[in-house]
Amino acid sequence: MERSDFSLSVPGDVCAPAGFRAAGLHCGIKKQKPDLALLYSEEPTTTAAAVFTTNRVQAAPVRYCRELMAGGRARAIVVNSGNANACTGAQGMRDAREMASLAAGALSLEPSEVLVASTGIIGVPLRMEPLREGIPRAARELERTGDAAAEAILTTDRFPKTASARVQVGGGTVTIGGMAKGAGMIHPKMATTLGFLTTDARIGAEGLQRALRTAIDRSFNRITVDGETSTNDSVFLLASGAADAPALEGEEALGRFTEALTGVAERLARMVPLDGEGATRLVRVRVEGARSADEARAGAYRVANSLLVKTALRGGDPNWGRVMAALGDAGIEIEEEKTDIWIDDLPLVRNGLGVSGSVEKGRELLQAEDREEAVDLRIALNLGTGEASVWTCDLGEEYVRINVAYN
């Protein structure tokens, strides 16, 4: 399906699809900022899908939700920010279960219908008193907009991240919405952040899970800020089935839906490195001509995570030697004399050698006062047909300032 077959310009957020309500508020986990979000589907037949971090150290909410997702059904998600509830032992699991029970009681659901997510500092027990008061209050404040919820899930983020789309599929129109958070500890070993996607499509749990995995692989698994993977990474997808449209059946309908879902996930995912801790530049690293897609992806990530490349970009310096050095350490096949590198449309390297005058022109491109678009760093290995793109950001002193004092 061509991307023109669906619209990403639809205004809306996680509550854009029919059947969803959300709330966000301050309950006291953080000192002042919103720290509790609740997302709820009014439809009892809502199906659910999820993907989780592959980090071997997993927060209590991740372990709790892995158990719940075996059934492929959920109607609500309760989220706290300011505390990850990770590395908190048996008490952490009890707290995750209590969060689900509190939300279930307030929404007249079964605890097994409530998913839980947390984000924030690791290794500190979760204070439950604020949540015991806040979760019932959030249930009373549910509304048909996700603006407050999108604010409440943030940690070091500078802005909320929301997106929505509408697609004609299966003889009807369905809507997809979402919100995400993330600015640090971003690397693709599953979802890379917390993300919450919704749709009013009528679709079974198996098809929903397939669609989500495909969308995540093309979006949240193609971004990096600092090469660090969180203990809490999770992306959830709820399908209310409330659209005035037939059930999605067959590969063609599922494919069209998956492409639209991917579009929303990509839009959300790219906001994460754009909002990278201390970042000033969004950067796309593209590797083409690799022996395989896997090698292209490995090369792109090695460059995207190179501290030397990222700091050079921060300074507006097109230091292609750092790119070449990173490629040579990526564990992939590379022949120096066949490698070409560009920034935007400016050739920096041809056949492994620097292009005369390109560094000066590259500085002008990167340091232009009116530059707002992403930096496009393209690499051609000229060894095969494999290609991959990764979104990242630059790195500067502000990242260090944020993380030496994070608590």
**Six-digit token pair at 15?**
């509550």
pLDDT of residue 405: 63
pLDDT of residue 259: 95
Average pLDDT, stretch 2-17?
69
> Rg for the chain (alpha carbons), in Å?
22
Q: Does position 407 have pLDDT exceeding 70, yes or no?
A: no
Convert the pLDDT of each residue in 226-263 to its tens digit. 666 778 999 999 999 999 999 998 999 999 999 999 99
Residue 9 binned pLDDT confidence (cut-offs 50, 70, 90): low
3-state helix/strand/coil string of 303-346: HHCCHHHHHHHHCCCCCHHHHHHHHHCCCCCCCHHHCEEEECCE
Average pLDDT, stretch 75-89?
96
Q: 18 CB contacts (<8 Å, ≥6 apart)? A: 175, 200, 240, 242, 243
Q: 41 CB contacts (<8 Å, ≥6 apart)? A: 19, 20, 75, 76, 198, 238, 240
**CA–CA distance, 162 with 150 (Å, rounded to integer):** 7
Q: Does position 5 have pLDDT exceeding 90, yes or no?
A: no
**CA–CA distance, 4 with 151 (Å, rounded to integer):** 30
Average pLDDT, stretch 385-393?
93
Residue 131 binned pLDDT confidence (cut-offs 50, 70, 90): very high
Q: Per CATH, which fold does 3-272 belong to? A: L-amino peptidase D-ALA esterase/amidase (3.60.70)
**Could you give the maximum distance between any two Cα atoms of the chain, in Å?**
69
CB 241 within 8 Å of CB 202: yes
pLDDT of residue 10: 61
Q: 323 CB contacts (<8 Å, ≥6 apart)? A: 303, 306, 309, 341, 377, 379
Tell me how crowded residue 404 is: count the other CB atoms within 10 A of its CB: 7
pLDDT of residue 71: 86
Convert the pLDDT of each residue in 174-209 to its tens digit. 999 999 987 554 445 544 589 999 999 999 999 999
CB 77 within 8 Å of CB 117: yes
Q: Provide the terminal-to-terminal Cα distance of the chain, rounded to the nearest Å.
A: 45
pLDDT of residue 182: 74
Q: Does position 63 have pLDDT exceeding 60, yes or no?
A: yes
Residue 279 binned pLDDT confidence (cut-offs 50, 70, 90): confident
Average pLDDT, stretch 32-58?
95
- Residue ranges of domains in the chain: 3-272, 282-404
Please name which of 139, 71, 152 lies closest in space to residue 105, comparing C-alpha atoms. Answer: 139
pLDDT of residue 297: 94
Average pLDDT, stretch 32-41?
97
Question: What mean pLDDT value characterizes the chain?
Answer: 90
Q: Does position 34 have pLDDT exceeding 50, yes or no?
A: yes
Residue 283, Cα to own-chain centre: how many angstroms?
16
Domains 3-272 and 282-404 belong to one CATH topology: no
pLDDT of residue 170: 78
Q: Could you give the residue numbers annotated as active site?
A: 192
Residue 8 binned pLDDT confidence (cut-offs 50, 70, 90): low
pLDDT of residue 20: 98
Please name which of 256, 135, 154 lies closest in space to residue 195, comparing C-alpha atoms. Answer: 154
pLDDT of residue 230: 79
Q: Residue for token digits 């009116």?
A: 370
Q: Does position 1 have pLDDT exceeding 50, yes or no?
A: no
Q: How many CA atoms lie within 13 A of 99 on its CB side?
A: 29
Q: 11 CB contacts (<8 Å, ≥6 apart)? A: 164
Tell me how crowded residue 192 is: count the other CB atoms within 10 A of its CB: 29
Kindly report the CA angle at 135 between 134 and 137, in degrees rounded to 5?
65
| pLDDT: which is higher, 142 or 158 | 142
pLDDT of residue 165: 95
Give percent helix, percent strand, percent coil of the chain, each to the nearest 5. 35, 25, 40
210-219: b (≥16 Cβ within 10 Å) or e? ebbbbbbebb
Homologous superfamily, domain 282-404: ArgJ beta chain, C-terminal domain (3.10.20.340)
Tell me the percentage of the chain whose pLDDT exceeds 90. Answer: 73
Q: Does position 272 have pLDDT exceeding 70, yes or no?
A: yes
Amino acid sitting at position 26: H
| pLDDT: which is higher, 224 or 337 | 337
pLDDT of residue 86: 96
**CA–CA distance, 289 with 332 (Å, rounded to integer):** 12
pLDDT of residue 42: 97
Average pLDDT, stretch 117-146?
96
